[in-house]
């Protein structure tokens, strides 16, 4: 009779029997010494305490090399915002002066949060949800990250679909949005060749963008999406098929793809900068980009724009960084990687401005208008202003293909990171999917197909209105709140000192400069970063209350803005919901429940395969060895009988 642990049950006859070399004796020394007992029935190993066997750990993938992780993170961070948002913010907020608040916000907010997310993922070797075993109370942060990633993936691949459409159109000569195209002779002949900021008629690029690509002229607004535009729907399908194929084998496949997708945009930027420097009027555009306006430093909006750009361009709080870091080796130098990736990302933003404004300066010179008349941001820059400038260059077809290939590479790398955040979170919660390649592939295929179906709303005639709504609120206040709680939770619940020690444990041979840098990061995590996040959050709420959401001349209705607020609120409300669930699972008073819910679970720190050997190494003294064998002869039993007789 045995219990679940394999030990003999108390009070059973087997409790008092000992098997000694085929002889059965009782613990009080009585009973026959000649009765042989079958050895398999009472194995001495069954009497020893059974070691507690941990649940089997499903092998976790790891990056094929250090450069795969670095390139994946750089490709994830260096996205479309570096090309179409930073240069515009720079010239709008005082030119070169904008770099001062930008780098201050980078080193006080961006780099510390980036290091926190990378370190958390690498140490826990888990995705955005499972990693919160370190503090179960904050599991809602991981769920919130998952919600943000879903919203971002939903609309971000639509940009890649637009890029595909333009890439296919660039194979025509002349370009369909240039004045050389037969359909645009009337437009160009009327002299209304400026872009939308001139207020005069539509330029050929605007006509192509609004009528042929979006079809927005056929929609009245958010309430009137209209039919699906099937050319765009096919481009969106192709984009999701490419994402599926690149991620089919996880980081083993996407880690190889980034060697091309993360480096090609740099090649194109260098080529565009060299080409732009040879154009007439390019210096006018560069001067417009960098001319300082020191008075702008006193404007709070400049500082908010700097903090927001740093925050969003690094991809913090979405779960992608955390997931990619979870596939690192345990002893990877996470501080060094953080400095390399953040420096590379921000340098790319700065140098992208030269590629953009040198060619826009040439277009302004050719038209005889100020640079601010042709400058734009967001999709307006990538799909209207810049294509128009490229159409004015000799060999415009070549430059257009090169530019849209760069946009495709930038977009797909960022989407890799966001999709990795979703898939890692789900696979960690349901490990059997990771163990079965077929089930994992089916899950990824179903996920991509669901995103495609939901994305069809964004490629209708009124899809740009829905695109703008999701883009404006998916990464707004909800994302800031999620990141704020992540910073506070790690600093005060998990413990900032423990977190710093975890980083030192990972680096192992920590050089002196790493220890000193950690003191700076500790100060940021506890004081500076939370206060700056509160500043950004306050400014977002003020702007949300004071201004209306617009796309062009269309003003969003109140119900549309309320829908956007609900999107952001759904993401951040996961934090209190799952905190209540965690507390309700514990026992005791409310204070005791809270204290238990912020303690790491027993399974924390055992996910990383590289750390398994280290855990066993520290537990060596507690290991229970199997009993050794003692061979007894008949003389031993004779001696035992004689001793019993003498005692009697």
Q: Domain with 388 in it: what CATH number?
A: 1.20.1740.10
> 121 labelled as ligand-binding?
no
What's the 3-state SS for 128-139?
Answer: CCHHHHHCHHHH
Give pLDDT < 70 ranges for the chain.
1-59, 189-201, 605-648
* C-alpha–C-alpha distance, residues 168 and 162, integer Å: 10
Q: Residue 297 and residue 21: Cα distance in Å, rounded?
A: 89
Per-residue pLDDT, 445: 95
Q: Strand, helix or coil at 8?
A: strand
Angstrom distance (rounded) from CA 525 to CA 502: 15
Is residue 608 domain-resident? no
Total number of domains constituting the chain: 1
Which stretch of DSSP H or E encloses residue 24?
strand 23-26
Residue 602 annotated as lining a ligand binding site: no
pLDDT score of 444: 94
**Distance set, CA 338 to CA 80, 113, 632 (Å):** 21, 10, 65
* Any domain includes 535: yes
* 93 annotated as belonging to a binding site for a ligand: no
Q: What is the pLDDT of residue 522?
A: 93
Does the residue 59 lie in any domain?
A: no
Judge contact between 171 and 154, C-beta under 8 A: no
Q: Which two tokens stand for residue 209?
A: 């963008």
Peptide bond into 443 cis (omega under 30): no
Question: Known binder of ligand: residue 345?
Answer: yes
Q: How far apart are CA 96 and CA 292, in angstroms?
A: 5
Q: How far apart are alpha carbons 115 and 183 in whole angstroms? A: 53
| Residue 645 covered by a domain | no
CB 286 within 8 A of CB 350: no
Query: Is 223 contained in some domain?
Result: yes
Q: Does residue 221 sit within a domain?
A: yes
Q: Is residue 152 part of a domain?
A: yes
Q: Is 410 annotated as a binding residue?
A: yes
Whose CA is closest to 58, among 435, 452, 551?
Answer: 435
Phi–psi pair at 25, nearest 5 degrees = -130, 155
pLDDT at position 475: 85
Domain span holding position 306: 67-180+204-585
Residue 40 resides in a domain: no
What are the structure tokens assigned to 616, written together?
């066993």
**Full-model pTM:** 0.81
Decide if 128 contacts 319 (C-beta within 8 A). yes
Q: What is the pLDDT of residue 335?
A: 92
Q: Give the distance from CA 252 to its chain's centroid.
A: 18
Quote the pLDDT of residue 84: 83
């Amino acid at each position: 009779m045995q219990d679940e642990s394999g030990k003999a049950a108390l009070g059973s006859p087997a409790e008092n029997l000992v098997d000694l070399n085929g002889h059965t004796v009782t613990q009080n020394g009585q009973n026959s010494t000649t009765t042989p007992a079958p050895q398999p029935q009472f194995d001495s190993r069954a009497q020893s305490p059974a070691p507690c066997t941990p649940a089997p750990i499903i092998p976790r993938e790891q990056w094929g090399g250090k450069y795969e992780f670095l390139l994946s993170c750089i490709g994830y961070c260096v996205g479309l915002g570096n090309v179409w948002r930073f240069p515009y913010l720079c010239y709008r907020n005082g030119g070169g002066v904008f770099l001062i608040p930008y780098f201050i916000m980078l080193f006080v907010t961006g780099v510390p949060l980036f290091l926190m997310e990378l370190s958390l993922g690498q140490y826990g070797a888990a995705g955005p949800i499972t990693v919160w075993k370190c503090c179960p109370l904050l599991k809602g942060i991981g769920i919130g990250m998952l919600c943000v990633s879903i919203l971002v993936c939903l609309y971000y691949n639509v940009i890649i679909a637009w890029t595909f459409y333009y890439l296919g159109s660039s194979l025509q000569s002349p370009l369909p949005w240039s004045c050389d195209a037969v359909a645009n002779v009337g437009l160009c002949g009327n002299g209304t060749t400026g872009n939308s900021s001139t207020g005069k008629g539509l330029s050929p690029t605007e006509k192509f963008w609004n009528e042929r690509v979006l079809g927005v002229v056929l929609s009245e607004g958010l309430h009137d999406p209209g039919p699906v535009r099937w050319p765009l729907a096919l481009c969106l399908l192709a984009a999701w098929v490419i994402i599926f194929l690149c991620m089919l084998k996880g980081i083993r496949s996407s880690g190889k793809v980034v060697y091309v997708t993360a480096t090609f945009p740099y090649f194109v930027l260098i080529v565009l900068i060299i080409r732009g420097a040879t154009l007439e009027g390019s210096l006018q555009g560069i001067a417009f980009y960098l001319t300082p306006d020191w008075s702008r430093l006193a404007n709070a909006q400049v500082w908010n724009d700097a903090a927001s750009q740093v925050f969003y361009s690094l991809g913090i709080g979405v779960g992608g960084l955390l997931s990619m870091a979870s596939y690192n080796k345990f002893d990877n130098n996470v501080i060094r990687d953080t400095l390399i990736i953040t420096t590379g990302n921000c340098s790319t933003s700065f140098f992208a401005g030269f590629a953009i404004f040198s060619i826009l300066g040439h277009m302004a010179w050719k038209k005889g208008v100020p640079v601010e008349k042709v400058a734009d941001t967001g999709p307006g820059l990538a799909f209207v202003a810049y294509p128009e400038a490229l159409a004015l260059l000799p060999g415009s077809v070549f430059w257009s293909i090169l530019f849209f290939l760069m946009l495709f590479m930038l977009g797909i790398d960022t989407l890799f990171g966001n999709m990795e955040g979703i898939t890692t979170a789900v696979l960690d919660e349901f490990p059997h999917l990771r163990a079965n390649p077929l089930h994992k592939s089916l899950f990824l295929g179903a996920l991509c197909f669901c995103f495609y179906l939901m994305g069809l709303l964004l490629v209708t005639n009124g899809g740009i209105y829905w695109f703008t709504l999701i883009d404006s609120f998916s990464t707004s206040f909800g994302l800031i709140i999620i990141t704020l709680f992540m910073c506070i939770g790690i600093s005060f619940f998990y413990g900032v000192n423990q977190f710093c020690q975890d980083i030192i444990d990972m680096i192992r041979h920590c050089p002196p400069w790493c220890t000193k840098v950690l003191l700076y990061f500790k100060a940021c995590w506890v004081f500076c970063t939370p206060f700056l996040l509160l500043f950004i959050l306050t400014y977002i709420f003020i702007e949300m209350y004071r201004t209306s959401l617009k796309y062009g001349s269309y003003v969003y209705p109140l119900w549309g803005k309320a829908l956007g607020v609900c999107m952001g609120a759904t993401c951040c409300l996961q934090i209190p919901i799952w905190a209540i669930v965690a507390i309700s699972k514990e026992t005791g008073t409310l204070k005791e429940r809270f204290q238990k819910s912020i303690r790491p679970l027993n399974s924390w720190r055992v996910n990383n395969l590289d750390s398994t050997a280290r855990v066993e190494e520290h537990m060596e003294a507690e290991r229970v060895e199997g009993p050794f064998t003692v061979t007894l002869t008949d003389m031993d039993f004779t001696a035992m009988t004689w001793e019993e007789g003498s005692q009697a």
